[in-house]
Amino acid sequence: MTESPDGAPAADPMGDPLYREAVVDLLGVIGYGELAAFDRLAEDARLAPTLDDKLAMAAMAAAEFSHLAALEERIRALGSDPAEAMAPFRTALDDFHVHTSPADWYEGLVKAYVGDGLARDFYREIAAQLDHETRDVIVASLADSGHAEFVVDRVRAGIVADPRLGGRLALWGRRLMGEALTQAQRVAADRDSLTLLLAGGVGRPGMDLLAIGQMFTRLTERHADRMTKLGLDA
């Protein structure tokens, strides 16, 4: 019921300090997520078997970083400091990466594709509930880095060369989903503000429990689609 992309609030929701604070939190978690993704992709690029592969993975890392500037600018425009806005989410996101450190190049590829896709879907769902300006900044920051095809090619070729790889990577994909949900829940429990963004507020419609359930169904379905594209059982 609040899913329409045109369902923007009538009044300026930034007049509500709770809303503004919640948006800064959201921009902070997305920003730190992109910084952490940059960091890990740059590291995982070292697992690349060839220089071409290393270049492709490094390009994904640089693409993540390139999205950060607009988020930082928006945080500043809302009167907050970017590093301060990101700080509360460091532990949860760093823990996600520590718990999902790839054992080899293929796990790194799957993580780059599945993890990035999941984060993108999730933040887009939240952005759909927000004022136009914030939504546009977030959607632009989540632009596809255009390397999906590279990952799909490499993973599929790897499975052809060694069919046992498919079973291992399917388990890995499920673990990535599980770790992502664990850390997302932890963030939600710590930061009421983000829950508030989903639930709506004065003059601003939100998602009810049914809508939130439907959102999780969509996230799960899209995750399964990505696994299928990689040639893996979800």
**Which residues contact a copy of itself (rule: CB under 8 A)?**
32, 35, 38-39, 42-43, 45-46, 50-52, 54-55, 58-59, 61-62, 65-66, 68, 72, 82-83, 86-87, 90
Q: Which residues contact 56 (CB under 8 A, 6 or more apart)?
A: 48, 147, 150
Q: Between residues 86 and 169, which has the closer beta carbon with respect to a copy of itself? A: 86
Give whichever of 34 and 125 is closer to a copy of itself, judged by the CB atom: 34
Nearer Cβ to a copy of itself (16/72): 72
Q: What is the C-alpha end-to-end distance of the chain, expressed in Å?
A: 29
**Comparing C-alpha atoms, which of 48, 37, 38 is closest to residue 96?**
37
Rounded to 10 deg, the angle between the 105-127 and 192-199 helix axes is 60
Which lies closer to a copy of itself via its Cβ, residue 13 or residue 82?
Answer: 82
Contact 104, 47 (CB under 8 A): yes
CB of 67 to a copy of itself, least distance (A): 10
For a copy of itself, the closer CB: 2 or 66? 66
Name the minimum Å distance from CB 172 to a copy of itself.
23
CB 54 to a copy of itself: min, Å:
7
- Tokens representing residue 201 in the block: 């507020």
* Separation of alpha carbons 58 and 63, rounded Å: 9
Minimum CB separation from a copy of itself for residue 176, in Å? 22
- Length of the chain equals 234
Q: Which is nearer to a copy of itself, 52 or 162 (CB)?
A: 52
Minimum distance from CB of 58 to a copy of itself (Å)? 6
Min dist. Cβ of residue 59 to a copy of itself (A): 7
Residue 99, Cβ neighbours under 10 Å: how many? 14
In angstroms, the CA 144 to CA 165 distance is: 26
User: Which secondary structure element, helix H or strand E, spans residue 49, and what is its range?
Assistant: none
